[in-house]
Amino acid sequence: MAKLLVVYDQPTNKEGFDAHYFGTHIPLAEKLPNVKSVQANRVLGVQNSDLNPYLVVQIEFDNMEELNQNMGSPQGKELTADGKNLMEFISKPPTIMIVD
């Protein structure tokens, strides 16, 4: 498995962020070719950290090759481009990690 994890800090405008993220961004992620799952989880609490996360998103693929191919696909480019639209609701870009 290869998973793309995206961690968003607390948005400056939660209502606007949620509306765009769940109404536009998640549906774009779900259209990625060969995506196995897309999960968005609100962070309810954090321990032993100075971080203030709001949302953790996991996009799962069978392997790293598929992840790379999908992010380079027209759907992946559309998803990446839409990420810029989220910047009006957050104060800094999200943290992005690739894990297995």
The CATH number given to whatever domain includes residue 65 is: 3.30.70.100
Report pLDDT digits (tens) over 34-93.
999 999 999 999 999 988 999 999 999 999 999 999 999 999 999 999 999 999 999 999
Only one residue has tokens 């090759």, namely 65
Query: Number of folded domains in the chain?
Result: 1
- pTM (two decimals): 0.91
pLDDT at 48: 95
- Helix ranges (H only) for the chain are 14-20, 26-30, 64-72, 74-83
User: Which domain covers residue 9, as residue numbers?
Assistant: 2-99
Q: pLDDT band at residue 3, thresholds of 50, 70 and 90?
A: very high
Half-sphere exposure of 30 (CA within 13 A, CB side): 9
Order of strands, edge to edge, in the sheet holding 95-99? 37-42, 53-61, 2-9, 95-99
Mean pLDDT of 18-27: 98
Question: Can you give the pLDDT at residue 79?
Answer: 96
